[in-house]
């Protein structure tokens, strides 16, 4: 792999990851860009204890552009994009409209500006310091991750790993989150195959709950929660979808989404940089097969299955019991029907699944090639 780091016209970082180690990247960004003010801040919800990001400047971001104006395609003479090169393997760049940024709201120090009616402790805020990056999986606008070959999927894994390590070293960053949203039904506003990486200045609520459960399990049993979960699924593989020498994919016992698969390395590690070479080598084959099965779930002739693929990694502090894993799920529950979150789910975070996890696992095994 060859990694080349350069700058876009407004000073944002752009990084190329190429399989050809002899490739040379020197294409300048010819757009007349002005820097965008990053007004991000994070505010503490005193009721839940969760940090909420407020990023009002994102209202002006690009929304469903025509294909010939896609900002993630390679640049041409007729259209200058975020990628100055005429072609690329994998490209990563700082989001122009980020939720979090290293220069976020510099005038906002940690505040506790209360009033008699609203005490200071109820109004805690600080700059939304962090970083948001866009990961372009391929130059082919019409492709998807499932269309990649194994060497390109491995390159994406290498890019995720590189960025996890680099972003995790930034001052103030507590957790790095790599993910992909695919499909307009999910809320994707750019059709080009891509994912994102968030470097958070806090540990996310979902991760905080996972850590609490894992710590409680350790206190009660003396064992690791995630190792026990994986061992239990392998001992009774009713919900196992796909198994390799180094990775196992299964539908969780209490899946929240109609079709939801968790992909674990068989050896517990906390983050992508901790994976061994043999684990990296096997991942592309299994992950691509999972994605292709998702696209076969509902038969031919439908639009590609919308999904979210989310890497869960240990935060900088307090995550010793957490296990790296990828969660893949779709909001499509059957042909022509999406799962919209109902009031109990959106309002109370109490999920109701319309598909039994065992039936989902059976169907995902059934659509194997």
123 is in an annotated binding site: no
Neighbours of 193 (CB within 10 A): 22
Q: Assess contact for 159 and 92: CB atoms under 8 A.
A: yes
Closest CA to 258 of 187, 361, 366, 369: 361
Dist. CA 266–CA 340, nearest whole Å: 33
d(CA 364, CA 359): 9
Provide φ and ψ at 173, rounded to 5°: -85, 130
d(CA 178, CA 199): 9
Q: Is 73 annotated as a binding residue?
A: yes
Cα distances from 188 to residues 160, 236, 308, in angstroms, run: 20, 37, 10
CA dist., res. 94 & res. 87, Å (int): 19
Q: At what angle do helices 277-296 and 150-168 cross, to 10 degrees?
A: 120
The H or E element that residue 289 is part of is helix 277-296
194 assigned to active site: yes
Among 57, 194, 217, 325, the one annotated catalytic:
194
Judge whether 192 is annotated as a binding position.
Answer: yes
132 annotated as ligand-binding: no
Active site positions, annotated: 194
Q: Which residues carry a binding-site annotation for Zn(2+)? A: 70, 73, 141, 192
Q: Which residues carry a binding-site annotation? A: 70, 73, 141, 192
């Amino acid at each position: 792999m060859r990694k080349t780091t350069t700058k876009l016209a407004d000073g944002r970082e752009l990084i190329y990851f190429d399989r050809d180690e002899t490739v040379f990247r020197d294409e300048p960004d010819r757009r007349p860009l002005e820097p965008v003010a990053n007004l991000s801040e994070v505010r503490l919800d005193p009721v839940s204890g969760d940090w909420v990001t407020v990023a009002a400047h994102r209202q002006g971001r690009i929304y469903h552009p025509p294909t010939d104006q896609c900002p993630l395609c390679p640049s041409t003479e007729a259209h200058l994009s975020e990628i100055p090169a005429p072609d690329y393997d994998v490209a990563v760049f700082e989001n122009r409209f980020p939720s979090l940024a290293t220069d976020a709201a510099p005038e906002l120090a940690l505040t506790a500006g209360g009033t008699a009616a609203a005490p200071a402790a109820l109004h805690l805020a600080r700059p939304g310091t962090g970083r948001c990056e866009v990961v372009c999986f391929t130059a082919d606008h019409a492709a998807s991750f499932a269309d990649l070959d194994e060497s390109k999927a491995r390159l994406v894994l290498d890019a995720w790993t590189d960025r996890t390590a680099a972003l995790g070293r930034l001052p103030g960053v507590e957790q790095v989150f790599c993910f992909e949203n695919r499909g307009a039904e999910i809320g994707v506003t750019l059709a080009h195959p891509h994912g994102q990486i968030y470097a958070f200045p806090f540990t996310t609520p979902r991760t905080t709950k996972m850590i609490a459960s894992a710590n409680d399990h350790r206190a009660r049993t003396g064992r690791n929660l995630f190792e026990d979960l994986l061992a239990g699924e392998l001992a009774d593989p009713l919900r196992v979808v796909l198994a390799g020498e180094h990775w196992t994919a299964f539908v969780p016992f209490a899946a929240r989404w109609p079709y939801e698969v968790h992909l674990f390395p068989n050896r517990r590690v906390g983050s992508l940089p901790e994976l061994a070479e043999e684990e990296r080598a096997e991942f592309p084959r299994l992950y691509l097969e999972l994605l292709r099965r998702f696209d076969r779930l509902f038969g031919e002739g439908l639009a590609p299955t919308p999904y979210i693929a989310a890497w869960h990694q240990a935060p900088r502090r307090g995550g010793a019991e957490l296990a790296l894993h990828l969660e893949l799920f779709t909001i499509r529950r059957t042909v022509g029907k999406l799962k919209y979150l109902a009031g109990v789910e959106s309002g109370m975070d109490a999920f109701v699944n319309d598909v039994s996890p065992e039936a989902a696992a059976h169907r995902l095994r059934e659509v194997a090639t």
